[in-house]
Amino acid sequence: MVTFLGVLLVLLCSILILALFKFFHKFWWVPMRITHVMSSQGIQGPPYNFIYGNTKVISNMIKKSTSSPMDMSHHIFPRVEPHLDSWLHIYGNNILYWQGPQAELVVTEAELLKKIMSIRGISMGRQDMGPISNKIFGGGLVFSQGDKWAKQRKLATHAFNGERLKNIVPAMVESVDMMLKRWKDVGTKEKDVYEEFRTMTSEVISRIVFGSSYEEGKKIFQKQGALIPLAAKQLSKTRILGFKMIFKDKEDLEIDKLLADIRDTIKKMIRIRESMIVSGAESMNDYLGILLNSYHDVDENYKLSIQDIIDECRTFYIAGHGTISLLLSWATLLLGIHTEWQEKAREEVQEVFGNQSPSLEGIARLKRMGMIINETLRLYPPTLSTIRKVLKETHVGDLVLPASINIHIPALALHQDPRIWGEDAHLFKPERFAEGIANSVNKNPGAFLPFGYGPRNCVGSNFAINEAKIALTMILQRYRFTLSQNYVHAPVQLVTLRPMYGVQILFQHL
C-alpha cells in the first residue's frame, strides 16, 4: 500500500515538475532568451512582463487613447495604435514587443523588410492566432499552411479573379441596386452608411459564395458576424496553458453555440445542394459549387473534406465582406468632407458610364476613382498589420531571427510615415497616386500594403476594388453627399479598423 502511494506521489510530483518546467520555459526562459538575442543585435523594445508580456500596457494605452473621440484629422495612428506610435519613437525603426509570451518583431525599415520577406519560409509563414482565432477561421485559406494552403489558394484565385470577375459584376450591381432602392426615401435625412454597406457587402458575398441559396447563406453570415466582437474580446485576454479550455466563460459558450449553428446550417446546405446536383437541377457556378467539385475530386491532392468547405465558406465571409464595407465607409466619409474630389469622381463616372450600370470594362477606366480608393486605403487601411511567423531560426544578412517570433509589418505606421509620404502624409491627397502606386511611395514598394505583402497577399483584392468602384459609381450617379454634423470621429481597432459610432452622411438627390 505504502509502495503504491509512494509511486503515485512520485508520479504526481513528476507531472507537477514537468508542468512547472513547461510553464517557466514558455513564460520566462524563451522571452528572456529572445530579448537577449535581439538586444545583442541592437533591437530594443518595452521590457517583457511575466505571463502578460505587454498586453496589459497595450490595452491600457488603447483604453486611454480611445476614451473620447478625436478631432477631424486623418492622423489616426497615435490614437489607434498608441503603443506602436510610442515605442517606434523611443526604440527606433525596428522594435521587439510582447503579446503575452509571443515575441513580435515590428519592422518598418524598408531594406530589412524586403530582405526578410524575400525568404520564402517567412513570407509563407502565417502566424498561429491561438485557439480563439483558429475557432473563428478554422482551417480556411487565411490560416492554412503548406500543401493545403496551395490547394485552397488555387481554388480561390480561380473563383475570384480573371474571367470569373466578369460573372461576379452583375451580382454586385444587383446588391448595390437593392441598397439604393432602400434609400429611396432618404430625402434630407442622414444615413449611417457603415450599417448600409455592411448589409450590402454581406449580400454580395452571400450571392457569390452560395449562389441561389444566398438567403440561407445570409443567416450563416449573420451568426459569423456575431462571432467577431466576441473573438476580439477573448483575444485581448491572456490565456494560461489549457486553463481556459477547461473553464469556459459566458463568451466561450456563446462562441461554441454560434459555431455549432453555423456548422449545422452549412452541412444542411451542402446536403441539399448534393441532392440537387444528383438530380441535375443545380449548376455549380458559385463558390460553394467550386468547393463541392473539389470534394468530389478523384485526385487526393485536390480533394477537400466537408470540414474544409465549411471553414472556407466562413473564411470568405470574414475576409470578403467586413473589409469592403470599411473601405466604402471610409471612402464615403472622405468624399463627404472633400467634396471637390467627389465632383471629380462624379465627372469621371459620367464620362465613362453616363447613367448606365457599371461594367467590368468601364470600371478599369475609372482612374480618378482608383486614386481615391488607394488614398482611402492608405489613410484608413481596414487591416492594420500583416504578420508572418518565423518557423525556424533564420539568418537575414547579419541578423539572426529566433524561431517562433512573429514579423509584424505595421501597415498604418508605414502609411502615415512622413519620411515616406512627405510632411503632408496625414492629408487626403489622392493626386499622390496619379502616376500609380510604385511612383507614390518614394521608390519604397513595401510602404503601401493595404492588401498585405508577398505570396500570401490578399486573394480578393481585385474583387474588393471592383465592388468598391461599382458601389461608389452607383451612388455618385444618384446623389451628392456631405458628412453629417452628427458624425463623431472615433476610429478604433476591433480586429479591423472601424468607425466606432458609424459614418453619418447627408444625401441629396441629383
Q: Which stretch binds ligand HEM (CB under 6 A): 43-51, 168-176, 236-244, 318-326?
A: 318-326
Cβ within 8 Å of residue 33, ≥6 positions away: 402
Residue 451 binds to ligand HEM (criterion: CB under 6 A)? yes
Give me the half-sphere count of Cα atoms (radius 13 Å) on the Cβ side of residue 109.
Answer: 12
Is 316 a residue that touches ligand HEM (CB under 6 A)?
Answer: yes
Q: Which amino acid is at 436?
A: G
CA dihedral 343→348→349→354, nearest 10 degrees, is 110
Q: By CB under 6 A, is residue 142 in contact with ligand HEM? A: yes
Least distance between ligand HEM and beta carbon 458 (Å): 3
457 binds ligand HEM (CB under 6 A): yes
Interface map 352-391 toward ligand HEM (x if CB under 6 A): ------------------------------xx--x-----
Task: Verify binding: residue 498, ligand HEM, rule CB under 6 A.
Answer: no
Any contact of residue 211 with ligand HEM (CB under 6 A)? no
Q: 163, 283 in Cβ contact below 8 A?
A: no
Tell me which stretch binds ligand HEM (CB under 6 A): 164-172, 319-327, 361-369, 415-423: 319-327
Pick the closer one to ligand HEM by CB: 342 or 383.
383
Q: Select from 35, 133, 213, 323 the one that contacts ligand HEM (CB under 6 A).
A: 323
What is d(CA 61, CA 50) in angstroms, rounded to the nearest whole number?
19
Contacts of residues 287-292 at CB distance under 8 Å and 24 or more positions apart, as own/partner, are 287/159, 287/208, 287/209, 287/210, 287/312, 287/313, 287/316, 288/209, 288/210, 288/211, 288/213, 288/313, 289/211, 290/155, 290/158, 290/159, 291/155
For ligand HEM, which is the closer residue by CB, 407 or 506? 407
Query: Applying CB under 6 A, does 466 fall inside the site for ligand HEM?
Result: no
- Is 324 an interacting residue with respect to ligand HEM (CB under 6 A)? yes
CB of 409 to ligand HEM, least distance (A): 8
Contact between 320 and ligand HEM per CB under 6 A: yes
Element (H, E) at 393: none
Q: Does 502 bind ligand HEM (CB under 6 A)?
A: no
- Which residue from 53, 138, 211, 450 is in contact with ligand HEM, where contact means CB under 6 A? 450
Interface with ligand HEM includes 141 (CB under 6 A)?
Answer: yes
Contact present, 132 and 248 (Cβ < 8 Å): no
Q: What are phi and psi of 495, to 5 degrees?
A: 65, -60
Residues in the chain: 510
Q: Strands, DSSP E only, in 344-502?
A: 385-389, 394-396, 399-401, 406-410, 479-483, 491-494, 496-499
Of the two residues 320 and 370, which places its CB atom closer to ligand HEM in the complex?
A: 320
Of the candidates 217, 336, 446, 460, which one interacts with ligand HEM according to CB under 6 A? Answer: 460
Q: Which of 74, 408, 415, 456 binds ligand HEM (CB under 6 A)?
A: 456
User: Rounded to whole angstroms, how far apart are CA atoms 341 and 288?
Assistant: 39
Q: What are the cell numbers at 135?
A: 475557432
Query: Pick from 160, 317, 330, 479: which binds ligand HEM (CB under 6 A)?
Result: 160
Contacts of 491 (CB under 8 A, 6+ apart): 70, 76, 79, 80, 380, 497, 498, 499, 500
Least distance (Å) between residue 374 CB and ligand HEM: 11
| Interacting residue ranges for ligand HEM, rule: CB under 6 A | 141-142, 153, 156, 160, 315-316, 319-320, 323-324, 327, 382-383, 386, 450-454, 456-460, 463-464
